[in-house]
Copies of this chain bind each other. A is one copy, B any other.
Amino acid sequence: MARKAAIIGGGVIGGGWAARFLLNGWDVAVFDPDPEAPRKVGEVLANARAALPALSDGPMPPEGMLTFADSITEAVQGASYVQESVGERLDLKHRVLAQVLQSSGAGVPIGSSTSGFKPSELQQGAADPSAIFVAHPFNPVYLLPLAEVVPSPANDAALIERAKDILREIGMFPLHIRKEIDAHIADRLLEAVWREALWLVKDGIATTQEIDEAIRMGFGLRWGQMGLFETYRVAGGEAGMKHFMAQFGPCLQWPWTKLTDVPEFTDDLVDLIAGQSDAQSGHHSIRELERIRDRNLIGFLRVLKERNWGAGKVLLDHDARRRSAVQDRAVQTPAPLEMVRLQVLPGWIDYNGHMTESRYLFACSETTDAFLRHIGPDMDYVATGFSYYTAETHILHKGEAKLGDALVGQLQVLKADEKRLHVHVSIEREGVVVASVEQMLLHVDMKAGRACPASQTVLDRLLPIAAAHADLPHAAGIGRFVGQRTEKV
């Protein structure tokens, strides 16, 4: 049975948490007195549904159930995890956390999305401070893996570890911060940049657009994959980090920032920045910018995943962790397995605006490869000298995909034994099949150059799925030759 998460506060951040839990198979109860909360959460969830599955190379679990509760008590009832994302006011957070504690079960982790407060501040006056900690996420919560997990000495260490496991389970990267401090780590760095940037705008040195270009054309690209210190380590070259420090340490004393001052937050400054931001980005609606941002982030994250680096490692670990859940579902609920979701990218389109022919086979290969990764033969297995080879492929073209289409690749095992794997793959767009592929794969000893039985580990995953799929109906077209008429079934 799906576990339940309680989300207190249904804004952009609360909505992002709700989406992450739901798309990872948890039931979610949201409490927010704002009558607009269901609309707001719904919008974030729609964005997340279009984005998060594109990061996964295995099937997503069935989406959990979303409900809106009438009270904190109702939301928290039966929840295995509670996340508070209300406004950034300590008195409000104290009131909310006190109510949560009255209804939540013993040992249930209660994370707060606070940007600035220390956990010890949140815990003040709490009936059970040991359950309350900081779990600070980053917008968009459904795509960015970082969650700063900050406990205080009053926390139960085992509860914090349990909370980190839950965060990993929903695909996040819990960064355990050992000493509490105002604004944790990332927001201290952001605040430093924010202050300096406000000065640059206020003093007329640069516009918001010029500052954004200075970031995204240069060091922003570095930071998305290495961060600050590793970047500088590389810049230091063979001489190493000490050399870099010796070179740039003295700059600390130079007038390179205006950081000793805090710019006064006048209406004029707000108007100046809001006006420049309109000039820079006003030709896109916020919805458009969200879509652009999410597609860029998906692209970056997939790049890192292909290279098993940084945030991409988190995605690969998440896929691996999900594998056993997939196996259970495949055997217990026989149905074609949804193995991949792909978005048709500009590079896949031919000059006529359609997806090029070879990409249908590519989508099929992605589906089969995801299934092979699931049953075991991954890159490591192949390195031992064994693999599945495709012996035959029969493609039926049934429709066309266009730029931006979301494609789903499903796989049904038609028959499998020790050596052979006969599958049917369907590539669907909005539930309609655009291509259907029948494939025969053979397990081979690559050195000997002949078919041989797969390893027991592989068969232990494959054969139960084959058995579960044995009674599923076959799609039209299976077992036919090219040009043979398909009878209605």
Inside 8 A of A450's CB, which chain B residues have their CB?
Answer: none
Cβ contact within 8 Å between A228 and B195:
no
Complex-state Cα separation, A377 to B350, whole angstroms? 12
Cβ contact within 8 Å between A216 and B310:
yes
Q: Which residue of B lies closest to A183 (CB)?
A: B256
Q: Beyond A303-B303, A446-B352, is A234–B290 a contact (Cβ under 8 Å)?
A: yes
Cβ contact within 8 Å between A281 and B233:
yes
Inside 8 A of A222's CB, which chain B residues have their CB?
Answer: 138, 144, 293, 297
- Residues 320-354 of A at the B interface (beta carbon under 8 Å): 345-347, 350-353
Cβ contact within 8 Å between B173 and A185:
no
A172 CB to nearest B CB, Å: 9
User: Is A161's CB within 8 Å of the partner chain B?
Assistant: no
Inside 8 A of A204's CB, which chain B residues have their CB?
Answer: 179
What band does the interface of chain A fall in when counting residues whose beta carbon is under 8 Å from B? 35 or more
Cβ contact within 8 Å between B227 and A213:
yes
Cβ contact within 8 Å between B237 and A12:
yes
Complex-state Cα separation, A225 to B215, whole angstroms? 9
Cβ contact within 8 Å between A297 and B225:
yes
User: Is A242's CB within 8 Å of the partner chain B?
Assistant: yes
Cβ contact within 8 Å between A214 and B189:
yes
Inside 8 A of A175's CB, which chain B residues have their CB?
Answer: 210, 213-214, 217
Q: Which of A356-364, A431-439, A469-477 contacts B (4 or more CB under 8 A)?
A: A356-364
Complex-state Cα separation, A32 to B356, whole angstroms? 51
Q: Beyond A289-B233, A296-B309, is A197–B228 a contact (Cβ under 8 Å)?
A: yes
Complex-state Cα separation, A253 to B196, whole angstroms? 14
**Residue from the set A88, A186, A193, A311 with the largest chain B CB neighbour count within 10 Å:** A193
Inside 8 A of A440's CB, which chain B residues have their CB?
Answer: none
Q: Which of A48-56, A64-72, A259-267 contacts B (4 or more CB under 8 A)?
A: A259-267
Copies of this chain present in the complex amount to: 2
Q: Beyond A179-B205, A189-B196, A206-B177, is A259–B256 a contact (Cβ under 8 Å)?
A: no
Complex-state Cα separation, A469 to B220, whole angstroms? 44
Q: Beyond A12-B237, A351-B388, is A217–B270 a contact (Cβ under 8 Å)?
A: no
Contact of A351 among B197, B200, B372 (CB under 8 A): B372
Inside 8 A of A215's CB, which chain B residues have their CB?
Answer: 186, 189, 223, 227-228
Inside 8 A of A253's CB, which chain B residues have their CB?
Answer: 262
User: Is A127's CB within 8 Å of the partner chain B?
Assistant: no
Inside 8 A of A216's CB, which chain B residues have their CB?
Answer: 223-227, 310-311
Q: Beyond A215-B228, A224-B216, is A270–B246 a contact (Cβ under 8 Å)?
A: yes
Cβ contact within 8 Å between A345 and B306:
yes
Complex-state Cα separation, A299 to B307, whole angstroms? 9
Q: Which residue of B lies closest to A11 (CB)?
A: B237
Q: Beyond A299-B303, A307-B299, A389-B352, is A230–B250 a contact (Cβ under 8 Å)?
A: no
**A-B residue pairs, 9 tightest by C-beta:** A212-B227, A299-B303, A220-B223, A146-B218, A146-B217, A259-B259, A224-B224, A208-B229, A192-B192
In the assembled complex, 26 residue pairs joining A and B whose CB atoms fall closer than 8 Å, in A order, are A148-B214, A173-B217, A178-B206, A181-B200, A186-B218, A188-B196, A189-B219, A191-B252, A192-B196, A194-B252, A208-B229, A211-B228, A215-B227, A220-B224, A225-B296, A229-B273, A230-B289, A231-B293, A245-B265, A245-B273, A292-B309, A296-B310, A299-B303, A306-B346, A351-B372, A351-B377
A interface residue numbers (CB < 8 A to B): 12, 88, 115-116, 138-139, 144-146, 148, 173, 175, 177-179, 181-183, 185-198, 200, 203-206, 208-231, 233-238, 240-242, 245-260, 262-263, 265, 270, 273-274, 276-278, 280-281, 286, 289-290, 292-293, 295-297, 299-304, 306-307, 309-311, 314, 345-347, 350-353, 356, 358, 361-362, 365, 369, 372, 377, 382, 387-389, 446
